[in-house]
Chain A
């Protein structure tokens, strides 16, 4: 028996191998070719509009969903060759705006419907906005709704005594399952338990830890936040009467002045309450303590109202006139999701092709991880005549070179990235497939101004002036990028007008301002003058840089402490960093270290402010200078430089309140000057978006936001 099996064994092996090969050959699915195949650069992290961030996600979500408005590239470019974006109606017509520019009224069109033919109402939007703002959803872009009255307080749980609040009780379906517990994956932080409404009468706080001892600002914030979650709320719960046919707790009548029953709520597990804190509580609190999911500002207080019998009117009230708010309503984060679908399957299961309910021009046919997803025309889209293509394949190639190879090999029709090595040839040969366009995006370096030598403004100015930005654009990036004129990229027409001829960035201007500032310190001026002689109208930035360097106390780069320039791993960033390292070494005599990290680690270091100079890039979220300038507000989440300037903060706050467009631009212009003088950021160049598009593909118009609308694309046979 044993021997005979042994004799057969080689044949067994061969059979196994043959079977494996047979399986492998058969494992290829035979998809038909889509009408359009394009590389979206990377796998979309999620299809959930509330959680998604990033351009690749945006392209797909814009195809699957449709917001109140849409933004389309203009048909003709302006004199600079820039395609601007114009707002057009989406699910709703263009809004009526009140005189004080604070109330927006959207009328949802009657034909608008989900792809399961349910009509879309303002309630869908209200619910989607609430979901986006709810802290349990974890929406990264929820910030964009903070301009709405009460939205920020709801989103970041800012409560005080007297606040009108809503409390979600622990009676969700999964809370009631005792054994095994809920499947965490389908658990969403979004409320599905009973909502109680009331007014905070008192807040019990545990002993405040000494946060001041925590040096790291972010860790301190986190600890403070952790402490806040341990607060107990004494809430006077009021009765409310739901209106007839109400679909949410806010369609109700509630008398905020009436008397109610007092409850004590905690969001923490009652057993986890610090014993010492428990001891300090009055007995009635200890006895009556109820655990709940969330205590939040009452959503009825947020400036979102659904009006009309048919619920087709959506009224949004803002804190300040915010001129770019309309644009925000076309942004993919604000696209609506279907309540029934989301609540039935939970997050993220509702995004599966078999479950998803969407309202955009395309439906999701299938999705293969890090391979492709297929979009198919949505026959139930209200404006389906506009859709030119039946199917679109969206690839996630993750490599510029591979993408380019596939484009040249005719496997894809459109590549959204182009390897820098081939750009010069493409430009030289005027290849019609190569589309480059100015983009509202800036490549810059962050400077951590907390430590020496970077805390010295003149040192920063010297470093900045010594960077040969023109050479970086001409010889490294080579796609037609241009050094920025200030911090803002090209494309803001009003700002360009204001800049007209202003010599603010000229080397001589830096020197002159420094001289004025040092009037009382002739010694320093003398030291700088000794280091290098400089004319009043000096045009050579290097000379000015050396003069400023001497003024900062480091003549000829003597005694500069070692510092490191950080960038995230990429060939392009490396080449620029090496060039800057070389510039500083040759021109200023400063030898620096370069360090590269993978994206996640890089981000962590920048966010922890654990760096000296770090590479950065910023793409406009909306077409307004505010999208760039609010980054540098004191302690702003994207500031990360420790830079803080009172006048600057005031300017940004003023601009948000200013209803007059021209005045607002002037404020931004002055704020930008501050950046260029203080230089917490070193702007390097204004981006150019590059795409490779086959000539048979029509309707891809390169534009300021690199926004390509898939339904507008046609393919000629």
Chain B
């Protein structure tokens, strides 16, 4: 219709049409544009993406076993290029001293067993065979000797890796530790734990903090006063102590058994304990933001059409404070990872043979003595940890600059 009557348009219509042609620049697009100009933040972003990919697909990489002990001749080896293959250790008693060969024979034995079970008619013998099969698949599996309880996905990834790289491993570029384990491989496997702790704990703090802050800010008045007072009180509690306590209490046997019946293990407790500290700041930040936007017109509009409180909070308020939240998030993850390292230092971290970067760094620090400095044990895990924290900090700064309009033209 517009095109037909184009010739005789009124001035108002002309303005309207022009306005329609201007492509709106959303806050996010704008921010993305600004972020792209910040080379440090972008570099960090790429680094983090690559790191995340590598760590997710660690089983695919041709790394040595992170848990295989080699006490006899590989303790404290400095970084080198000596070749290594999987399953070559004599103690393992693998066929042809090769994981590939051992896996093949394992698969064969397993399928034989499966056939036998299918043919077997005597129930007693059948259960015996089934038990044998279960043992074989559990402890008898060659992967279980080189990795600590790999899950199904991990096993599948390792199989793929064996198809691609065979028994080949990257040499011990970062040296070996006191039990002769490859440090490079431990850094990668430890990274999985560290990053997951960082992410999940932050997520926990995010959920509690955003919800609490948003509700408090939105309700305002007496609710706000009480809720924020509670946060103030919690703020003045030395939380490190509380976390040390929570972890010691909850990992105690009777509590542990109870929690495990709900599928909660130590690492989950870890997430919640750490998440439980960091939500405080998050809730304050969110509350501040909510207070400033709750009188915006679109909120009034929503309220006018009869939307009740919680949908307003979730649908309108929270999405609009996401910018600040994301910035804060990128700054919380490194803080959490540091905290995990700190707990590892006190001996409250993940338990052996699992590793995290904090634990690796701590082991390294212990190996620094005037007698002999096993520098690779501190340097490489330290670099991994510091590099990641460094990038997250840079990215957080960049995001803040990009999302904060005040900083727009600086």
Contact = CB atoms under 8 A, between A and B. Distances in A.
Interface stretch (B24-32, B235-243, B366-374): B366-374
Contacts of B372: 421-422, 425
A405 B139 contact: no
Given A578-B69, A578-B179, A589 B135 contact: yes
A601 interface: yes
Nearest to A554: B135
A599 to B, nearest CB: 11
A537 interface: no
27 contacts: A401-B368, A401-B369, A404-B371, A409-B370, A419-B366, A421-B367, A422-B371, A422-B372, A475-B75, A476-B179, A557-B139, A558-B135, A574-B352, A577-B352, A578-B69, A579-B71, A579-B179, A581-B353, A585-B144, A586-B93, A594-B351, A594-B352, A596-B351, A598-B248, A601-B248, A601-B252, A605-B253
Interface in A396-434: 401, 404-405, 408-409, 419, 421-422, 425-426
A422 B352 contact: no
Contacts of A578: 69, 179, 352-353
A462 to B, nearest CB: 15
Nearest to B362: A571
A556 interface: yes
Interface in B136-150: 138-140, 144-145
Given A591-B139, A594-B352, 17 more contacts: A401-B366, A421-B366, A421-B369, A426-B371, A471-B71, A474-B71, A475-B71, A475-B75, A557-B139, A558-B132, A559-B131, A577-B352, A581-B353, A585-B139, A586-B91, A586-B93, A589-B140
A474 B369 CA distance: 21
Nearest to A595: B351
Contacts of B69: 578-579, 582
Interface of B: 69, 71-72, 75, 91-93, 131-132, 135, 138-140, 144-145, 178-179, 248, 252-253, 347, 351-353, 363, 366-372, 374
A535 B223 CA distance: 81
A475 B72 contact: yes
Nearest to B92: A586
A298 to B, nearest CB: 44
A523 interface: no
Contacts of B347: 569, 596, 598
A610 interface: yes
Contacts of B144: 585, 591
B73 to A, nearest CB: 9
Interface string A567-578: 001010011011
A590 B371 CA distance: 39
Give the secondary structure class of B's interface: loop
B178 A575 contact: yes
Contacts of A419: 366, 369
A577 B370 CA distance: 28
Contacts of B140: 556, 589
Give the secondary structure class of A's interface: helix
Contacts of A476: 71, 179
Contacts of A422: 369, 371-372
Contacts of B93: 586
B139 A590 contact: yes
Contacts of A401: 366, 368-369
A585 B93 CA distance: 12
A652 to B, nearest CB: 32
Given A578-B69, A594-B352, A425 B253 contact: no
Interface in A585-638: 585-586, 589-591, 594-596, 598, 601, 605, 610
Nearest to A579: B69
Contact of B370 (A408, A556, A579, A591): A408
A564 B93 CA distance: 25
A571 B75 contact: no
Contacts of A421: 178, 366-367, 369, 372, 374
Given A421-B369, A582-B69, A589 B248 contact: no
Nearest to A564: B253
B369 A557 contact: no
A226 B131 CA distance: 49
Contacts of A586: 91-93, 145
Nearest to A594: B352
B91 to A, nearest CB: 6
A585 to B, nearest CB: 7
A579 B145 CA distance: 13
Contacts of A405: 369-370
B210 to A, nearest CB: 35
A422 B135 CA distance: 41
B344 to A, nearest CB: 11
Contacts of B371: 404, 408, 422, 425-426
Given A421-B366, A421-B367, A585 B145 contact: yes
Max count, chain B CB within 10 A of own CB: residue among A471, A475, A569, A577: A475
Given A421-B178, A558-B131, A589 B369 contact: no
Contacts of B253: 605, 610
Interface in A311-349: none
B39 to A, nearest CB: 39
Nearest to A399: B366
Contacts of B374: 421
Interface in A474-493: 474-476
Contacts of A582: 69
Contacts of B92: 586
Contacts of A571: 363, 366
Chain A to chain B: the 8 pairs with minimum beta-carbon distance, closest first: A475-B71, A408-B370, A422-B371, A558-B135, A591-B139, A569-B347, A589-B139, A421-B367
Nearest to B138: A591
Contacts of A589: 135, 139-140
A481 to B, nearest CB: 14
Nearest to A557: B139
A556 B135 contact: yes
Contacts of B138: 591
A569 to B, nearest CB: 5
Max count, chain A CB within 10 A of own CB: residue among B131, B139, B366, B372: B139
A591 B150 CA distance: 13
Contacts of B132: 558
Interface string A427-461: 00000000000000000000000000000000000
